[in-house]
A = this chain, B = another copy of it.
Amino acid sequence: MIKAAVVGGSGYTGGELARILSRHPGISLEAMTSRQNAGRPIAEVMPFLKGFTDLVFQERLPENGDYDVVFLATPHTASMRIAPPLLDQGMKVIDLSGDYRLKDPRTYEEWYGQQHADLANLPRAAYGLTELFRQEIAGADLVANPGCYPTCTVLSLAPLVKEGLIEGKIIVDAKSGTSGAGQEPTRSTHHPTCAVSISPYKVGVHRHTPEIKGVLEGLTGKDIDVIFTPHLLPIVRGMLTTSYASLADGVTKEDVTAAYRSAYEKERFVHVTGIPAIPDTVGSNLCQVGFEVVGSTVIAMAALDNLVKGAAGQAVQNANIMFKMDEATGLNYPGLGV
């Protein structure tokens, strides 16, 4: 049994990690930290976990903690300070913040407003978009778990980019449920503000922009111009991305179809469908991908549960790979559908 801990576990991602690990046959959640809830039983703070865990939130992990893997559900800029000592003690680390996702520390500084504090480990971090980087993940001690938007966007675009089927600028129009904004009440997630609306936000300045751009560029070796516009959607769980690109000369719809098929026909957590449906993915690690060709434009769509495939689920999927378990262990159940 792999022993796991979660640092910073009192948010939605921490709760989701606990929810998933509670029924994982190969990984045992041994500790979960939270400054604000230290000393309180997890199941008291998160009543949906009653009966599934007897753990109590700890202020911090013990000095001599003996875990095989630590999930960092901490905010960016915190993770890069927490990870090094854990790695030094020989634990594997899966970081769900943005701290290890951008390969170039200057890009990090530009978008996160701080110098990167762990240049030693940054180069060894594998980018945890499982379907694209299995091999790196399998051998990694440190995994940068992707953002929800990059997971959704890149899964929908990767077959096109890898096969060189598109050229020029990529437009990503993304829509996320409010759970992606975290559990701290804010004006933008105040129900009367957001419940009968859809709001573009951080237009042109969202931190997932360089992440999407970097990953896609890595697939092809060329510069790619990515325009990314997130919208806050009046649902809680779930995300949809609609992306637009121009087909390269001579590329046909058949080429596009073939690219998606070959990319995903063996994948258990990525299904190619017609129009992706958020409800099919809710509560599960599934990403649905769809596409349409309209003239010389390809429209790539994807839907997933931002807390599962977009965060905690993919983190567990990566842990499974890092510890040589079947990739679907503990994740092998369907979405709610309705």
Asked if A240 and B334 sit within 8 Å, CB to CB, the answer is: no
Asked if A175 and B192 sit within 8 Å, CB to CB, the answer is: no
How many angstroms between the C-alpha atoms of A50 and B52 in the bound complex?
A: 28
Asked if B338 and A236 sit within 8 Å, CB to CB, the answer is: yes
With A171-B171, A191-B190, A282-B196 in contact, is A337–B235 under 8 Å at CB? Answer: no
Q: Which residues of B contact A196 (CB under 8 A)?
A: 196, 235-238, 278-279, 282
Tell which of B19, B192, B280 touches A48, judged by Cβ atoms closer than 8 Å. B280
Asked if A336 and B237 sit within 8 Å, CB to CB, the answer is: yes
Choose, from A1-9, A158-166, A292-300, the stretch at the interface: A292-300
How many angstroms between the C-alpha atoms of A186 and B184 in the bound complex?
A: 9
- The 8 A CB mask of A267-282 against B (1 = contact, 0 = none) is 0100101010111111
Contact of A149 with B by CB under 8 A: no
Interface positions, chain A 205-246, Cβ under 8 Å from B, are 225, 227, 229, 231, 233-238, 240, 242, 244, 246
Contact of A252 with B by CB under 8 A: no
Asked if A203 and B280 sit within 8 Å, CB to CB, the answer is: no
How many angstroms between the C-alpha atoms of A179 and B283 in the bound complex?
A: 17
Asked if B233 and A301 sit within 8 Å, CB to CB, the answer is: no
How many angstroms between the C-alpha atoms of A240 and B201 in the bound complex?
A: 13
Output the least CB separation between A248 and chain B (Å).
Answer: 15
Output the least CB separation between A20 and chain B (Å).
Answer: 9
Tell which of B51, B179, B187, B292 touches A192, judged by Cβ atoms closer than 8 Å. B179
How many angstroms between the C-alpha atoms of A288 and B299 in the bound complex?
A: 27
Output the least CB separation between A322 and chain B (Å).
Answer: 23
Contact of A257 with B by CB under 8 A: no
Q: Which residues of B contact A280 (CB under 8 A)?
A: 47-48
Q: Which residues of B contact A294 (CB under 8 A)?
A: 203-204, 227
How many angstroms between the C-alpha atoms of A50 and B334 in the bound complex?
A: 8
Asked if B12 and A192 sit within 8 Å, CB to CB, the answer is: yes
Contact of A185 with B by CB under 8 A: yes
Q: Which residues of B contact A140 (CB under 8 A)?
A: none
Interface bracket on A: 35 or more
Contact of A320 with B by CB under 8 A: no
Asked if A48 and B171 sit within 8 Å, CB to CB, the answer is: no
Nearest B residue to A236 by beta-carbon distance? Answer: B192
Asked if A301 and B47 sit within 8 Å, CB to CB, the answer is: no
Asked if A22 and B334 sit within 8 Å, CB to CB, the answer is: yes
How many angstroms between the C-alpha atoms of A297 and B170 in the bound complex?
A: 11
With A242-B173, A275-B199 in contact, is A48–B235 under 8 Å at CB? Answer: no
Nearest B residue to A297 by beta-carbon distance? Answer: B227
How many angstroms between the C-alpha atoms of A48 and B277 in the bound complex?
A: 9
Asked if B203 and A292 sit within 8 Å, CB to CB, the answer is: yes
Best-buried of A177, A183, A190 by chain B (most CB within 10 Å): A190
Contact of A15 with B by CB under 8 A: yes
Asked if B337 and A23 sit within 8 Å, CB to CB, the answer is: no
Asked if A195 and B273 sit within 8 Å, CB to CB, the answer is: no
How many angstroms between the C-alpha atoms of A186 and B186 in the bound complex?
A: 8
Contact of A335 with B by CB under 8 A: yes
8 A–B contact pairs at CB < 8 A?
A15-B337, A15-B338, A19-B337, A185-B187, A197-B238, A197-B277, A229-B299, A233-B234
In the A-B complex, list the 3 residue pairs whose CB atoms are closest, starting with the nearest.
A204-B294, A48-B337, A173-B173
